[in-house]
Amino acid sequence: MNGMLTLLVLLPLAGFFLNGLLGRRFGPVFVNGVGVGLPLLAFLTALWAWRTLETGGGVPIIETVFTWAVVGEHVFEVSFYLDRLSAVMALIVTGVGALIHIYSIGYMKGDEGYARYFAYLNLFLFFMLLLVLGRSLLVLFVGWEGVGLASYLLIGFWFQDVTKARAGRKAFITNRVGDAGFLLGMFLIFTAVGTLEMDRINEAFATGLIPAGVATAAGILLFIGATGKSAQIPLHVWLPDAMAGPTPVSALIHAATMVTAGVYLVARMSGVYLEAPAASTLIAAIGVLTAFLAATIALVQTDIKKVLAYSTISQLGFMFLALGVGAYGVAVFHLFTHAFFKAALFLGAGSVIHALNGEQDIRRMGGLARRIPWTFGTFAVATAAIAGLPPLAGFFSKDAILWFALASGEGGAIWLWVLGSLTALMTAVYMFRLLWLVFLGRSRMQPETERHVHESPVTMTAVLVVLAFFSMIAGGFALPQYLEPLLALPEVRFHSALVHWAQIGFAVLLAVLGLVGAGWLYRDGGKPADQLWLRFRSLYRLLDGKYFVDELYERLLQRPWRWFSDRVFLRLGDRMLLDGSLHGLAALARLSAAAFARVQSGSLHWYAWMTLFGLVAVLIWVWRYV
Amino acid sequence: MDNAHLLLAVSGTLFTLGLVGVIVRRNLLVMLMFLELMLNGVLLSLAVFTQLLGVEAGAVLMLLVFTVAAAEIAIAVPILLLLVRAGHTLDPGAYGGLKG
């Protein structure tokens, strides 16, 4: 079917232009119609595209929109590529995206920038679809930068607040570091393969003719790009700050879709990584370390959104762990389930914040379960899902990741599994801690806030219910098997089913242990936990300070760079060289003008004398030389 | 020394006299007269060369220059008159403030 994918991509773009240009004039009804209607249409189009793909037996659909550039014999086309992987991504993006648009109606009601908000959100969807559907790395990169832009605009959505505007800038700049790696990787691949179309790149690497060094270097460079977008160590610092944006934005961009772009990139380029075991090992190591460290930080955060932000970083770490051990389909599976339960969690947190009129500190919450039952119910389901309680969605995907971390024949290792399991345990602890402190126990709210507690409107709770429902059943979609023709699962080292079952049992045990432990530690508003932390004061300070990575970067990079910019660029370069040379020229002109101005004295006789001198000089010259 | 040389010497003398006059005199009206003297010196040399070379165009040019000089004076004298009305002096040093 021709034009289907183009239509899918262009629908949200139309929404951006309509809302951006006309939204303010036509009012909220128009904004809702366009801002929510077009993403819903996009979702239906994505479903249609997926149906078409399946009736075609999974043969990739390629749709060329136009030729971008012809350089010598290289042709760069803007074309879309739909296979099962990009279909899954497009469905997640448009599906969760549409739900979050609906939720935003209630959440953003009455905001001054209502139309602007929906315009940005639609713009984000457009770029995200460009990212997942692009056939060429170039198109993907345009989408990649575009979602970065949308993320920047939405983090700093309330830009009158300086800290929020700064958070947007931090996200943008941190991502630039990753993008440098991405671009270099692209250059390298183009030099080695001669094309940027990802299916062809994978084919070229699969032939084994490309040197392993190139594969490793390209793999690492692309992964650097992924660490930026997906907030992995060492570029994870922007994501917690990105929580400055409106909560639905955190749910859509900074939990469900955009931050998973790095995972998608690595999965999409799996052909490269299959030839680069060293790069894969690096990915697994970074992934598991990120998962572990972010989980430890999440244990002590007191801002409801920060807990979820570190949880997101941690879960993304899990996905990279899966990618690193060659289980690409499993990573996408976790991406899929994570999109649902993390969106549900964020939107639930948004609902809590909405109910408490902007309060985000979990120390001043508690006992909300009965006051906002729908939010509580859905939040509890999503919490159980992320903690990995069977038979909810997170259980299946996380268990599969841990299993492959242990058993994969392509880099599975005990230490990966141990760290992963510890992370899973901590995930359960910090998530149930959140549930306990926010919804259960006695109320610790400010009396003023408490009087105004109210359940969110139905547009919000309905979305929560849908997402919670999917958090329950999403584990039932056997995505790794569905994607197997594209992304083969790695060989397994242990063939005894006993090991697998033991692993599953252990994972369940960890989740239950986390639940019980959190329940015990955080009863009475967390007093037992406080006492426990008192014994490990310095550790608490380390975690509370987020390992002081921000401070380290400030010392190590920002200050020297600022000094260098100030001294070399500003004072030497700008002020001395540029301004100096211009000022010098101006001074020269002024001085010579002053000298000549003295000649024009106003005395007629002086002029006559000068005429005489001039005549004499001309005469002498003529006499001498002519 | 034939007539031509004599006439050219007279022309040079007239020009020099005029120039010296313009430089040394401090009366605007007199300076204008010396200017005319310089012009006459130049025109005399023009007339001499016209005769010597037999180019009729030179005579026409001379008449033209005369006309222009007369027009110049016709403009210069009223300007001078206005100046004197405002400044009550013919000394050009008093009008130094008029420089651009």
Mutation for testing the A interface, residue in B15, B23, B39 having most A CBs under 10 Å: B23
Q: CB-based contact (8 Å) between B39 and chain A?
A: no
Crossing angle of helices A277-298/A212-229, nearest 10°?
20
Maximal C-alpha separation, chain A: 118
What is the phi/psi pair of residue A74, to 5°? -90, 130
Q: CB-based contact (8 Å) between B23 and chain A?
A: yes
A414-429 tens-digit pLDDT: 999 999 999 999 999 9
Distances (CA, A) of A279 to A264, A272, A600, B76: 16, 9, 78, 93
Q: Above 80 in pLDDT, residue A250?
A: yes
Judge contact between A92 and A470, C-beta under 8 A.
no
The closest of A276, A284, A9, A282 to A140, measured between CA atoms, is A9
Q: How far apart are CA A602 and CA A612, in angstroms?
A: 17
Taking CA atoms, what residue in B is nearest to A598? Answer: B99
pLDDT at residue A499, rounded to an integer: 87
Question: Token pair of A215, please?
Answer: 């594969």
Closest-CA distance of chain B to residue A617, Å: 15
Residues 6+ apart with CB under 8 A from A346: A247, A248, A250, A251, A255, A305, A308
Q: What residue type is assigned to position A469 of the chain?
A: F
Q: Enumerate the H helices of A440-536 as residue ranges.
A: 447-451, 458-473, 479-482, 497-521, 527-535
Please indicate whether, in this complex, the C-beta atoms of A612 and B23 are within 8 angstroms of each other. Answer: yes
Closest-CA distance of chain A to residue B94, Å: 9
3-state secondary structure (DSSP) of residue A598: helix
Taking CA atoms, what residue in A is nearest to B35? Answer: A608
Closest-CA distance of chain B to residue A603, Å: 6
Q: CB-based contact (8 Å) between B54 and chain A?
A: no
pLDDT at residue A550, rounded to an integer: 87
3-state secondary structure (DSSP) of residue A433: helix
Select from B23, B26, B98 the Cβ nearest to the Cβ of A602: B98
> Could you tell me which residues are beta bridge partners of residue A62?
A81
Select from A602, A608, A612 the Cβ nearest to the Cβ of B96: A602
> Could you tell me which residues are beta bridge partners of residue A18?
none
Query: Does the N-terminal peptide bond of residue B92 adopt cis geometry, omega within 30 degrees of 0?
Result: no
DSSP string, A517-562: HHHHHTGGGGHHHHHHHHHTHHHHHHHHTGGGHHHHHIIIIIHHHH
Taking CA atoms, what residue in B is nearest to A607? Answer: B23
Chains A and B form CB pairs within 8 A to the count of: 26
pLDDT at residue A610, rounded to an integer: 87
Q: Above 90 in pLDDT, residue A280?
A: yes
CA angle A477-A478-A482, nearest 5°?
115
Q: How far apart are CA B71 and CA B48, in angstroms?
A: 24
Taking CA atoms, what residue in B is nearest to A599? Answer: B99
Q: How far apart are CA A141 and CA A150, in angstroms?
A: 14
Q: CB-based contact (8 Å) between B31 and chain A?
A: yes
Judge contact between A376 and A369, C-beta under 8 A.
yes
Average pLDDT of A523-539? 83
H/E segment holding residue A70: strand A61-71
pLDDT at residue B100, rounded to an integer: 61
Q: CB-based contact (8 Å) between B100 and chain A?
A: yes
Average pLDDT of A279-306? 93
> Contacts of residue B79 in chain A, CB cutoff 8 Å?
none
Please indicate whether, in this complex, the C-beta atoms of B93 and A603 are within 8 angstroms of each other. Answer: yes
pLDDT at residue A528, rounded to an integer: 83
Per-chain mean pLDDT for chain A: 90
Select from A600, A602, A608 the Cβ nearest to the Cβ of B22: A608
Split at pLDDT 50, 70, 90, the class of B1 is low
Mutation for testing the B interface, residue in A596, A601, A605 having most B CBs under 10 Å: A605
Judge contact between A297 and A231, C-beta under 8 A.
no
Please indicate whether, in this complex, the C-beta atoms of A608 and B97 are within 8 angstroms of each other. Answer: no
Please identify which residue in the block is written with the tokens 């692309």: A222
Task: Look up the ipTM and state it.
Answer: 0.79
Average pLDDT of B38-67? 90
A490-506 tens-digit pLDDT: 888 887 788 889 888 99
Please indicate whether, in this complex, the C-beta atoms of B99 and A612 are within 8 angstroms of each other. Answer: no
A575-622 tens-digit pLDDT: 889 999 999 999 999 999 998 888 887 788 888 888 889 989 999 999
A160-191 tens-digit pLDDT: 889 999 999 999 999 999 999 999 999 999 99
A28-56 tens-digit pLDDT: 889 889 989 999 999 999 999 999 999 98
Q: CB-based contact (8 Å) between B21 and chain A?
A: no
Q: How far apart are CA A315 and CA A321, in angstroms?
A: 10
Judge contact between A196 and A81, C-beta under 8 A.
no
Closest-CA distance of chain A to residue B86, Å: 17
Question: Token pair of A115, please?
Answer: 């139309």
A87-141 tens-digit pLDDT: 999 999 999 999 999 999 988 888 888 899 999 999 999 999 999 999 999 999 9
Average pLDDT of A198-220? 89
A315-347 tens-digit pLDDT: 999 999 999 999 999 999 999 999 999 999 999
Please indicate whether, in this complex, the C-beta atoms of A601 and B96 are within 8 angstroms of each other. Answer: yes
Please indicate whether, in this complex, the C-beta atoms of A612 and B19 are within 8 angstroms of each other. Answer: yes
Please indicate whether, in this complex, the C-beta atoms of A602 and B95 are within 8 angstroms of each other. Answer: yes
Q: What residue type is assigned to position A78 of the chain?
A: V
Q: Which CATH class is domain B3-92?
A: mainly alpha
Please report, rounded to a whole number, the percentage of residues in chain A having pLDDT higher than 90. Answer: 53
Q: CB-based contact (8 Å) between B57 and chain A?
A: no
Taking CA atoms, what residue in B is nearest to A604? Answer: B92
> Could you tell me which residues are beta bridge partners of residue A77?
A67
Contacts 24+ apart (CB under 8 A), A18-26: A19/A115, A19/A116, A19/A118, A19/A119, A19/A122, A20/A115, A20/A116, A20/A119, A20/A123, A23/A114, A23/A115, A23/A116, A23/A118, A23/A119, A24/A115, A24/A116
The closest of A378, A238, A357 to A309, measured between CA atoms, is A238
pLDDT at residue A377, rounded to an integer: 93
Please indicate whether, in this complex, the C-beta atoms of A604 and B100 are within 8 angstroms of each other. Answer: no
> Contacts of residue B98 in chain A, CB cutoff 8 Å?
602
Domain ranges of chain B: 3-92
Please report, rounded to a whole number, the percentage of residues in chain A having pLDDT higher than 70. Answer: 100
Question: Token pair of A200, please?
Answer: 């062809």
Q: Above 70 in pLDDT, residue A397?
A: yes
pTM of the predicted model, to two decimals?
A: 0.80
> Contacts of residue A604 in chain B, CB cutoff 8 Å?
31, 92-93, 95
